[in-house]
Amino acid sequence: NKMKHNLIIFLLSAILSIAGGKAQHFGANESDTKPITWRANARMISNTEGVITFTATMAEGWHLYGMQMPPDGPKPTRFTFETNTGVVLNGKLSVDKAPIKKHDSLYNSEVEYWEGSVVFKQPFKISNQDVQGLRIKCYVDFMGCNDATCLPPERKTFNLRILPKR
């Protein structure tokens, strides 16, 4: 009876580990492989105004370069927007925290960067009340490094549907 009990425990743990392995495999997302990941959305905050929100998340030890870089430094983080008729950018892109300023021995210059996560917001206005079908195409050009290596500059494209006000 003890052997039967052990066999059941063994089979159950084998099944669970297989299921667990499968779940991890299917649940794999970009952050498992990329040291810097981006999320974005565009949402109305009033009848005529909205905000595009970008969130960059850096893996432990990685950093995302700032928006101001010396000419011979790493590629800065840049946002480019293509808007539909009826959508106008309204004001400057803001960031939720100041970048860290540090001398970078890799580039032998003063650079700015963020660690952990950082949120960028770009306000916009729409000229007609109907956001149905309105989209904003956004490009983020960025570069990230850790202490040992740098990623080649990368471009992430978002084609955002404007979400109604919550």
User: What digits encode the pLDDT tens for the residues 50-65?
Assistant: 999 999 999 999 999 9
Global pTM exceeds 0.85: no
Q: Tell me how far the alpha carbon of residue 34 is from its chain's centroid.
A: 10
What phi and psi, each to the nearest 5 degrees, are found at residue 98?
A: -70, 145
Residue 52 token pair: 């595009």
The pLDDT of residue 22 is 38
Over range 107-125, report the average pLDDT: 94
Query: How do residues 93-104 score in pLDDT, each as one tens digit?
Result: 999 999 999 988
- The CA–CA distances, whole Å, from 58 to 9, 14, 86, 97, 145 equal 40, 35, 34, 14, 10
What is the overall mean pLDDT for the chain? 83
C-alpha 59/C-alpha 99 separation (Å) is 16
